[in-house]
Amino acid sequence: MPRKPPAEPIDHHYDIPRLNRAFWWSAAALTLAFIVMIVADYNRDWKTFQRVFLRLDAKQTRDAALAARQKALDDEHTKLVGELRQARAEIATHQTTLHQLDAQLKALDPKIYLADQQYKFTKASFDAERYKYEDRLANDRRAAPSAKRDFDRISQELDQRTVALATLKKQDAEIRARVDAINAKKKELESTIEKRTAAFRLSRDKYVSLKQDTLFQLRNAAILDMINPTLRVQQVQLPDQFINVNFMKIPKVDRCTTCHVGADRKGFEDPKIKEVFRTHPALHRMVGSESMHPATTFGCTPCHGGRDRATSFWSAGHSPETEAQERAWTKKYDWEFDKFNENPVLPLKYAEAGCYRCHSSETNFGDAPTLDSGMRVVETLGCWGCHRIEGLEKQGIPKVGPSLEKIGSKLSKDWTTRWVMNPPSFRANTRMPNFFYLENFVDVSGPTPPTAAQKKMNEDGRVENDTMVNAIVSYLYDRSKPAEVPPVPGRGDVARGQKLLAERGCFGCHLADPNAQRDLTGTYRQFGPNLAGIGSKASRDWIYHWISNPKQWNPDTKMPNLRLSPEDALDIAEYLSTLKAPPAFDQAGLPKTDEKTLEQIALYFEMSTKTLFDAKADLAKMDLHGKEVYTGKNLIAHYGCYACHAIPGFEDAKPIGTELTEEGSKAVHRLDFGFIHIPHTRQDWFWTKLHTPRVFDRNRARGWEEKLRMPNFRFSDRELDQVVTAVLGFQQLNAASSVVKELSPREEAIEKGRRIVKNHNCQGCHVFEGVGGSYRSLVADPSLAPPIIQGEGAKVQPDWLFGFLQAPKTGQIRPWLEVHMPTFGFTDQELNELTRYFAALDRAEYPFLIADYVTTPGTWAAGKKVFELLKCAQCHPRSIEDMNRPGVDRASLAPNLQMAETRLRHDWINSWILRPDEWMPGTRMPTNFPKNDDGHRVSPLGGLIDSPQFAKDREEFAKLFGSDEAAKQFLSSPDAVTRALRDYVWTIGINGGTAPVPLKAPAATQTASGFGAPPAAAGPAGTH
Amino acid sequence: MALIEFVKNAIDFLSAPQYLVTGALIGLVLAIHWRPIWTPKGGAVLFALLAGGIGLSYLDPNFNKVATLPDNVPIVGMIFLVGFFFWFSMTQAYANDRRIAEGRPPFEGEDSAQKVFSWPDLVYVELICLVIVMAVMIVWSIYLKAPLEEPANPTDSPNPAKAPWYFLGLQEMLVYFDPWLAGVAFPSIIIVGLMAIPYIDTNPKGNGYFTFRERRWEITIFLTGFLVLWCMLIVLGTFLRGPNWNFFGPYEFWDVNKLVPLNNINLSEIIWIKVLKRSLPNFWLIREMFGLAVVGFYVAALPLVFSKTLLRRFYEKMDPVRYFIGVSLALMMLALPIKMYLRWIFNLKYIVAIPEFAFNI
């Protein structure tokens, strides 16, 4: 079949000029799009920030330069310049000579060059000839003599060359010395002027380099900036800090300083400077290159959170602190909530959360006050009892609530019921949270009056809670271990009891203030329960036995034994039993158990292990009380009461709450926001949860068993911020171990001690580590208050401290004190850890000290003499008799020196005598050795001894030291004098300070040191 | 306000999959026969309705939230593009049909009689298109940022976890079919089937020109597959499937807490327990014999039955191999709506359920 011939092509199907126009327009559009692309790519916020910062820096540098100039160009400068001018004129008169010398130098120059070259060439030949000679010696002995000749020849030549070169150089040096002599004055002046103006010139040069001149603009112009721009992304690589992307760990690269240009530089602290440019507020601790957290290792985002590689405000994940800030940011930076950013920047008020992930092994966080308070609240309120927190779990904290094992013998059932229903109605500042009648059972919080359905739900919830409270209390009393509280014969003296309560030190841990609000961080006096209302809670008899020996009632109690005499205990118990609760508490109605509800609750628990029919059969066998006890036990397990209280039957129960160890890293979508519309961030969820724990049940139709269980701790807003900071800090550790805080043995000893201190509230009475001593403010006369024991580790001997802490005796050191150091009943381990802790705090030796210190009779005698001269005995008794002497005001006495030898560290005594004002500011011990202007301690005795009234003493000292001069030298040396005093004081406890001999040192050692021989000479006699 | 709420609620209600698919299937068949739409005027009205409806919907915060996500914007564009080409081809087809009825050649016939140079008539136009597309893409990429989310986490998938937009139709099938079917077998059959079309459908009519009358069945089958079972399922997957792959109306808030009962049962349970009141046989072959019989009938016997009855015309026109392959493919395609309806009406989970071999149909 023949193919049809192809049709002839026609000219064009389309109108070509139209296509041309279309092409023109589309090409124009593409060009425009291209330009838009370049502009959009070039315009980055960080460039603007850097330009603005550059201007700021330039301005500050300019100011600094001007100030430096002002300072440099003073009268002295004018004088120097004048002198320089003179010097120059002076030089001008020597012009001819200088010209001549210069000509000579010029003539010498080629000669030296040539001589140097010849020397070098000869040296090279010399080395070669030497090798040749050595080679012949080793391999071809016959040819050696000729090689030796060549070598000798060249060696000679080298000597000549060396001399020639040296001669020429000497000539040159001589001429130069003459030139320098003429110029000397001028050079010196020039150098002085240069030095005086260096600061000015430096800042001026810097200012010039900071100017945004044409070159700057060119280097940073669009497209051209690909070559070598000055505005560039700044970053630190952090190989030890990771981003966990689940299947691998990626090192962080922090680019924060791209915008926060001034963060790591001093000089931008002024609050008037824009926040973005300001110096980090704690440069000495963070970011600064000399701080312990330099930005090059720790970066910014590992602590603050945020997207490390981001270079724009939004993508960095900045989190607004308030709604106002959010609005402002939205307007200014197009900020919007980024739900895909799993790790946004922590709002500033929670910033300290970043510390915890690396420092979780520590107990106190003094440099991070919000976190420190947060952790204190978390510890004290017992959050860790229900929610496992690994960092705290490792530290071993005792349960925060009292033991309920013998509740039946201590408290009335009605009281317990009312207490469980609403603890703050009895004691406003209690730590016990509200478990019942909360909004997911009884919601009366709505702004509108409740509907009929709501009323019905509230009523059901109330009945359920009533039944639950009764059931729990029934269980507690049913299982309560029998304990006897024998009646106390006689009555106490209420007034004396009140006085003793204040004097013995009870208020170091307790308040007795019915209006007190909870404050767990501002005072140490809320460690124990508030004693207000105690008379409505416990009987006089019980109180008497309790305060007489708390550990007898409960071996695990934190309450120490104050060693009260029976009369004292009776008076205090008498007084405490008069403290009654507000009448509203005692009159509050008691809940009624609804049998049907009880049945339902019990059935639910029964059915967790049994089938419906077995469960019902089981229940049918129980009477009402049996059902209550059964239900109570299960409700205690349901609500986790045993997390804080010791309850029979729950010795090994597991905590009921979510583990919080990495809560701060939890994915936000794993937090159940329910129907509550708050921003979907961790901090908002934590805050809301802590504020109203059952709020996420709102609008949910759930049975009681499905409802949220977390109790309401009635947090204040301040506490909320603190606890949220702590919880945000419980983070996954995405860092190499090299950047995590690792405790040194010393720090570990300190942390162990701090834990014991925190568990026993030592700082309620004593000040150490710079904090504590709440009780001291209650005592008018500071000398009657529990002592400040700052520096205790350096002061006392470990053995003594061990013994003292184990069994302090009343009146042992300061018999005049009314307040008692309690007996805590520490274990051996605790005692060791505590003594070690105090030693570690002051970097003192631990645990072994030399028992026998060495002195010479001369030094000892001099010490004794000084002791008398300074009238130390006026305040310090040297024996018990001294203290009991008639007419002695015991309150004004200083510690008994008899105990120095057994109690104090040898080297501490002289240090204390030398600088008591530094050891304990405000001490009554006089500063006998004041500081001079250079800050050195001086001994005024050297001068004092010259006055006529001490003529006799002077003679005696001269006799002791063999010459007046030696005596003077001794008396003028504060170190020598204090050491001598110490040596004397040390013997007071041994022999009453009568002789230097009983320093308990072996004779050989004493002799050896007396004559300055090395200790080795003492030989085996050195042991005893 | 109340009226707007009513309309929104009505739309939310009607966009549930069962109504949407039913409506689309019926609507498509009616629409392609309703000629007034397939004119420029009809097109303008259609466009106005679509654009107006979607435009007004943007005023709804919930719709707005979903439709303005950077990865969903193109799907809005896709609705218009697919709509336009559908309208364009149908309009051309009807116009050509009219010309053919009048005894004239179709438009394309006139065109193809001409011969032109590839430059400038082809390449120049292509160049202009390329330039325009580039300009649009550049501007788009500047003002609509890449929809990046959090780093992937194998232990913690996003909710809803959505496939790329072009796979959303397949993902929707997963609701009704076992993964090996919806994820492995069907996609392979779709690809092979699309490749096989030229060999099955050898009818030269409509080659190079638009026509409807000459290819009524073919076009209807193709449009059902492409528009309803592919494009519409993508739109459904994009805009109407929210957290936990739950259905959400276009104006409904995507609430993570929403729960929908999924109480589906297998055919074997219906027959053995509900109808025969006996316990399920232990041996899977006996247990599933009804289901296997149904499937066997559908796959093997139905093409034969159809060849004698409903589709005799086709069977006679095509040779047997072509007929059987073609009908099998068509039945495969129909299996999706059939299974959908079985699910909606009988809560049917699987026709054949053999968990012993992880084999379910």
Same-domain pairing of B222 and B271: no
pLDDT above 70 for A1012: no
Q: How far is the alpha carbon of A12 from chain B, nearest alpha carbon, in Å?
A: 6
Mean pLDDT of all residues in chain B? 90
* Residue A1017 pLDDT level (bands cut at 50, 70, 90): very low
Q: What is the pLDDT of residues A348-401, one digit of tens each?
A: 999 999 999 999 989 999 899 999 999 999 999 999 999 999 989 888 889 999
B117 at A interface, C-beta within 8 A: yes
Contacts of B124 in chain A (CB under 8 A): 14, 16, 19, 23
* Residue A1019 pLDDT level (bands cut at 50, 70, 90): very low
What is the DSSP secondary-structure string of A222-269?
TTGGGT--SS----EEEEEEEEE-SS-EEEEEE-GGGT-TTTTSTT--
Residue A443's pLDDT is 83
Residue A884's pLDDT is 77
Domain boundary among B126, B146, B166: B146
Is the Cβ pair A7, B115 closer than 8 Å? yes
* Residue A101 pLDDT level (bands cut at 50, 70, 90): very high
Residue A1004's pLDDT is 39
Q: Which residues, other chains included, contact B188 with Cβ-Cβ below 8 Å and sequence gap of 6+?
A: none
Q: What is the pLDDT of residues B325-338, one digit of tens each?
A: 999 999 999 999 99
Q: Among A4, A14, A18, which would you mutate to test the B interface (most chain B Cβ atoms within 10 Å of its Cβ)?
A: A14
Is B188 within a domain? Answer: no
What is the DSSP secondary-structure string of A542-575?
HHHHHHH-HHHH-TT-SPPB----HHHHHHHHHH
pLDDT above 50 for A10: yes
* Residue A5 pLDDT level (bands cut at 50, 70, 90): low
Q: What is the pLDDT of residues A175-227, one digit of tens each?
A: 999 999 999 999 999 999 999 889 899 999 999 989 888 999 999 998 899 99
Please report how many Cα atoms fall inside a 13 Å half-sphere around the Cα of residue A1001, on the Cβ side.
Answer: 23
Closest CB to A667: pick one of B113, B132, B156.
B156
Torsions phi, psi of B278, nearest 5? -130, 165
Is the Cβ pair B120, A340 closer than 8 Å? no
Question: Percent of chain A beyond pLDDT 90?
Answer: 65
Closest among A867, A878, A874, A868 to A888, alpha carbons compared: A874
Is B166 within a domain? Answer: no
Task: Please tell me the pTM assigned to this model.
Answer: 0.85
Judge contact between A319 and A346, C-beta under 8 A.
Answer: yes
Is the Cβ pair A33, B138 closer than 8 Å? yes
Same-domain pairing of B10 and B102: yes
| 8-state DSSP, A526 | T
- Residues A480-492 have a mean pLDDT of 89
Is B251 within a domain? Answer: no
Q: Is the peptide bond before B120 cis (omega within 30 degrees of 0)?
A: yes
Q: Which residue of A has its CA nearest to B243?
A: A669
* CA dist., res. A21 & res. B45, Å (int): 31
The residue type at B186: F
Closest CB to B142: pick one of A27, A36, A341.
A36
For chain A, which residues lie within 8 Å of any Cβ of chain B, measuring from their own Cβ?
6-10, 12-14, 16, 19, 22-23, 26-27, 29-30, 32-34, 36-37, 40, 243, 245-247, 340-342, 667, 669, 674-675
Same-domain pairing of B74 and B11: yes
Same-domain pairing of B226 and B98: yes
Same-domain pairing of B6 and B97: yes
Least confident segment among A50-54, A786-790, B234-238 = A786-790
pLDDT, greater one: A999 or A258: A258
Same-domain pairing of B336 and B303: yes
Residue A949's pLDDT is 85
Q: How far is the alpha carbon of A14 from chain B, nearest alpha carbon, in Å?
A: 6
- Residues A968-992 have a mean pLDDT of 89
Instruction: Give the pair of three-digit tokens for residue A469.
Output: 């409270």
Q: What is the pLDDT of residues A567-610, one digit of tens each?
A: 999 999 999 999 998 888 988 889 999 999 999 999 999 999 99
Q: State the Rg of chain B over Cα.
A: 24
Alpha carbon separation from A274 to A53, A262, A268, A313 (Å, rounded): 9, 10, 9, 15
Q: What is the ipTM of this complex?
A: 0.84
Is the Cβ pair A19, B117 closer than 8 Å? no
The residue type at A8: E
* CA dist., res. A416 & res. A433, Å (int): 14
Place of tokens 């710079």: A770
C-beta atoms surrounding A715 within 10 Å? 21
Number of domains in chain B: 3
Is the Cβ pair B138, A12 closer than 8 Å? no
Instruction: Give the pair of three-digit tokens for residue B345.
Output: 């009406």
Torsions phi, psi of A772, nearest 5? 100, -165
Residue A301's pLDDT is 94
Q: Which residue of B has its CA nearest to A38?
A: B142
Contacts of A36 in chain B (CB under 8 A): 138-139, 142
Please report how many Cα atoms fall inside a 13 Å half-sphere around the Cα of residue A456, on the Cβ side.
Answer: 3
Same-domain pairing of B289 and B342: yes
Q: Which residues, other chains included, contact B310 with Cβ-Cβ below 8 Å and sequence gap of 6+?
A: none
| 8-state DSSP, A142 | G
Place of tokens 């240069």: A194
- Residues A36-59 have a mean pLDDT of 93
- Residues A782-797 have a mean pLDDT of 88
Judge contact between B229 and B336, C-beta under 8 A.
Answer: yes
Tell me the β-bridge partners of A238.
Answer: A252
Residue A4's pLDDT is 63
| 8-state DSSP, A712 | B
* CA dist., res. A863 & res. A637, Å (int): 70
Alpha carbon separation from A893 to A896, A912, A926 (Å, rounded): 8, 17, 13
Residue A1007's pLDDT is 38
Q: What is the pLDDT of residues A900-921, one digit of tens each?
A: 888 999 889 999 999 998 888 7
Q: What is the pLDDT of residues B214-259, one digit of tens each?
A: 889 889 999 999 999 999 999 999 999 999 899 999 999 998 888 8
Contacts of A696 in chain B (CB under 8 A): none
Same-domain pairing of B101 and B238: yes
* CA dist., res. B148 & res. A144, Å (int): 84
Same-domain pairing of B101 and B121: no
Residue A6's pLDDT is 60
Closest CB to B117: pick one of A9, A32, A342.
A9
Same-domain pairing of B96 and B122: no
Q: State the Rg of chain A over Cα.
A: 43
Q: How far is the alpha carbon of A20 from chain B, nearest alpha carbon, in Å?
A: 9
Residue A559's pLDDT is 94
Is B162 within a domain? Answer: no
What is the DSSP secondary-structure string of A334-383?
-----TT-SSPPPPGGGTTHHHHHHHTT-S--TT-HHHHHHHHHHHHHTH
* CA dist., res. B322 & res. B197, Å (int): 10
Is the Cβ pair A19, B120 closer than 8 Å? yes
C-beta atoms surrounding A331 within 10 Å? 9
Please report how many Cα atoms fall inside a 13 Å half-sphere around the Cα of residue B286, on the Cβ side.
Answer: 7
Contacts of A12 in chain B (CB under 8 A): 116-117, 120-121
Torsions phi, psi of B115, nearest 5? -125, 130
Contacts of A243 in chain B (CB under 8 A): 151
Same-domain pairing of B8 and B141: no
Q: Which residue of A has its CA nearest to B138?
A: A33
Is B319 within a domain? Answer: yes
Contacts of B127 in chain A (CB under 8 A): 23
Tell me if residue B175 falls in helix, strand or coil.
coil
pLDDT above 60 for B180: yes
Is B179 within a domain? Answer: no
pLDDT above 50 for A628: yes
Closest among A150, A160, A156 to A128, alpha carbons compared: A150
Closest CB to B135: pick one of A12, A26, A245.
A26
Residue B22 is part of which domain span? 2-106+209-245
pLDDT, greater one: B155 or A903: A903
Q: Which residues, other chains included, contact A799 with Cβ-Cβ below 8 Å and sequence gap of 6+?
A: A847
**Helix A494-503 / helix A566-576 crossing angle, nearest 10 deg:** 100
- Residues A953-960 have a mean pLDDT of 87
B161 at A interface, C-beta within 8 A: no
How many A-B residue pairs are in contact by the CB < 8 A criterion?
A: 81
C-beta atoms surrounding B59 within 10 Å? 9
Closest among A718, A361, A754, A772 to A527, alpha carbons compared: A772
The residue type at A13: H
Is B180 within a domain? Answer: no
C-beta atoms surrounding A900 within 10 Å? 22
Residue A447's pLDDT is 66
> What class is the A369-399+654-738 domain?
mainly alpha
Q: What is the pLDDT of residues A677-726, one digit of tens each?
A: 999 999 999 999 999 999 999 888 899 999 999 999 999 999 999 999 99
Residue A997's pLDDT is 58
The residue type at A197: T
Domain coordinates in residue numbering, chain A = 74-196, 236-345, 369-399+654-738, 407-643, 756-831, 857-1022
Residue A507's pLDDT is 94
Q: Among B121, B137, B140, B255, which would you mutate to test the A interface (most chain A Cβ atoms within 10 Å of its Cβ)?
A: B121
* Residue A262 pLDDT level (bands cut at 50, 70, 90): very high
Q: Is the peptide bond before B160 cis (omega within 30 degrees of 0)?
A: yes
Judge contact between B226 and B197, C-beta under 8 A.
Answer: no
Q: What is the pLDDT of residues A827-881, one digit of tens each?
A: 999 999 999 999 999 999 888 887 777 788 888 889 999 998 888 888 888 888 8
